[in-house]
Structure 1
Amino acid sequence: MELTTVWFALIAVLWIGYFTLEGFDFGVGMLLPVVPRNDTERRVLYNTVGPLWDGNEVWVLVAGGATFAAFPEWYATLFSGFYLPLLLILVALIVRNLAFEYRAKKDDDVWRRNWDLSLVIGSFVPALLWGVAFANIVAGVPINGDKEFTGNLFTLLNPFGLLGGVVTLLLFATHGAMFIALKTDGEIRHRAGALSVRLGLAAAVVAVVFLVWAQAKTGSVSSGVAFVLAALALVGAIGAAWKGREGWAFIGTFATIALAVAGLFFALFPDVMPSTTSAAYSLTTTSASATGYTLTVMTWVAVIFTPVVLAYQAWTYWVFRKRLSTHHIPPVSPAEPLPAGAA
């Protein structure tokens, strides 16, 4: 197997890791106004993802860096053509991350409400725009002979792209509800479990339409198999959530997102950015790749350090594996700020 194919697959794995892990972070943030009933319950939701969100974001940083190093032409065309939506995602992530860090710095209801709103918006925007971006990457965008994107923001806001955004939005919300039900106890757990079933049904309808459309546009046998398995995993997750089996439900949405993203990369290969202007202008794994020496060095670095990163993140999840409830949240004294880490 050529190293260009290996690195295309590795980048797909990095995006799968990002969407499956950061996806439930986004879901928890978007559901902040829906699931909790008071400030203590909101603090429970913050603490479910508090030890995890920053580690989950590492996946997108590595995916971007790997794309830059392995496929510099892909990186250049993608980040220049998709500059505005990617900038909006970046700003939203910054605002969202500040909410985790600053909400507990001041004992004031208005202060906390503003940061709660920041978390909701900072989760909603990336959940929507990542779907728009990937739908357009798979379907193709106008690229000229100089490998430059010739469209604009409205080019990306086409029906297929917008549908992709709605799919990721609903899938991440469902994934987040499953995670809340798995990670909490008491009333929050029951509310999240019931909500996850309703969200899952809505996500299933929209996702099936999108995946069938994607398969018809640019699908392959491999992508078709992945899409079917993703749909079955989502149905299984909804059934498990309905029966109150939160662990299997979360595994189901995890598998759904992983298989759907894998299917999109199967549909994309061997292109990395198809051109709707002319097939001759499409960027492929071969035409957009770095030199063989660069890919060889990167491969050895990945072989050495990837197991270390995976082991560390697995250890983090194991340490913070227990359920949380309102009785775990210490009371706030009016004269004192919230304890560090007790968002």
Structure 2
Amino acid sequence: MGLQEVWFILVAVLFTGYFVLEGFDFGVGMNLPVLGRGEHGPERRSAMMKSIGPVWDGNEVWLITAGGALFAAFPDWYATLFSGFYLPLLLILLALIVRVVAIEWRGKVDTAQWRGWCDRGIIFGSWVPAILWGVAFANIVRGVPIDADKQYVGGFFNLLNPYALLGGATTAIVFALHGAVFLALKTDGPLRADAVALAKRLSIPALVVAGAFAVWTQLAHGTGWTWIVLAVAALALVIVVAMTFAAREGWAFVFTTVAIASTIALLFGSLFPDVMPSTLDPAWSLTIHNASSGQYTLTIMTWAAAFLTPIVMLYQGWTYWVFRKRITVAGEREPVAV
């Protein structure tokens, strides 16, 4: 295995960490209108934001690291991706900025109107990336019009094909489920009961939508060994349904994590050795070899990653351990039906 293969796997791992960790952050924001209503709605929404308060910004670092790794290890992939997918990636960036500002400033002014506008920003900044990340990665796997000069020559609406839209629906519903399960794991009392109920309602549609996307991916783009990954993802989703109905949110969270990680493995496994297939001519596709940096750059990056990655992961794991206690909503006595 050469360094190009190593860094392809590392980029996949970094995006997996981002979608697993930031996925439940998005899910919490997406579920604000559902779980944050009723007589104690304001207190509920504050408790929901407290559940991710110590970790959400650390979770976003995975995206920054993945983007940096992509730029340094596969500069041609980075350049073609960010120029060809400029509009959807810009929308993701703007949504993330709105979300960051809303989270950071939510507690700066103690009025219901201010918190309401911030909550709208959080909801918007959670739904838009949750959908568009699925659209983007589905298009990467499907292939896009790339010419001999490694330039994307399609338009924005070329990205809105049925497969990509199903990918967007998959990430949206799976992240919403992941967030509901996380809230069931991190909260107590009526809010936890309602999060469990919401997870039950989302689990079967998530199984259907994500299962359809995974099967389409395998049949259209998969290889022999990715059938195993597909089976793992499908089994994980089935177990999630069972665990949500059994109110075993700890195991449900484990298996939503497995389902997300398996789906990313399916996408990257179906892509390899390409990094952006060309629908105009396979010879014009970007691969791990013709889109990568030089050997010296990859060697230096590998040593740096080997030293720094364990430190970062240990620190982030310690953060989750410190803030592991459940959160309750003061004054709430009876569950609010969802």
TM-score (normalised: structure 2): 0.96
Q: Deviations over 1:124-179 (max 9, x none)?
A: 00000000000000010000000000011101011110110000000000000000
1:233 maps to 236
Aligned partner letter, 1:136: N
In the TM superposition, residue 36 of structure 1 has moved relative to its aligned partner by: 2.1
Cα distance in 1 for partners of 2:290, 2:163 equals: 27
CA contact (8 A) 1:182 1:247 kept: yes
Q: Does 1:208 align with 2:211?
A: yes
2:26 maps to 26
The within-5 A match list for 1:44-63 is 44-63=47-66
Q: Deviations over 1:284-314 (max 9, x none)?
A: 0011010000000000000000000000000
Cα distance in 2 for partners of 1:103, 1:250 equals: 27
1:187 maps to 190
Cα distance in 2 for partners of 1:115, 1:221 equals: 47
In the TM superposition, residue 328 of structure 1 has moved relative to its aligned partner by: 9.9
CA contact (8 A) 1:92 1:125 kept: yes
Unaligned 5+ runs, structure 2: 333-338
Equivalent position SS for 2:275: strand
CA contact (8 A) 1:222 1:263 kept: no
User: Equivalent of 1:81, from 79, 84, 96?
Assistant: 84
User: Equivalent of 1:253, from 250, 253, 256?
Assistant: 256
Aligned partner letter, 1:144: D
The within-5 A match list for 1:92-171 is 92-171=95-174
Aligned partner letter, 1:20: V
Equivalent position SS for 1:323: coil
In the TM superposition, residue 107 of structure 1 has moved relative to its aligned partner by: 1.4
Sort the Cα spacing of 1:300 and 1:106 in 2 relative to 1 into closer, same or farther, 3 A. Answer: same
CA contact (8 A) 2:27 2:179 kept: yes
1:276 maps to 279
2:177 maps to 174
Cα distance in 2 for partners of 1:47, 1:328 equals: 17
In the TM superposition, residue 244 of structure 1 has moved relative to its aligned partner by: 1.1
Aligned partner letter, 1:204: L
| Identity among equivalent pairs (%) | 57
Cα distance in 2 for partners of 1:195, 1:223 equals: 31
In the TM superposition, residue 228 of structure 1 has moved relative to its aligned partner by: 1.5
Cα distance in 2 for partners of 1:65, 1:152 equals: 26
Aligned partner letter, 1:165: G
* Count of residue pairs the alignment pairs up: 329
Cα distance in 2 for partners of 1:110, 1:234 equals: 39
RMSD, matched Cα? 1.1
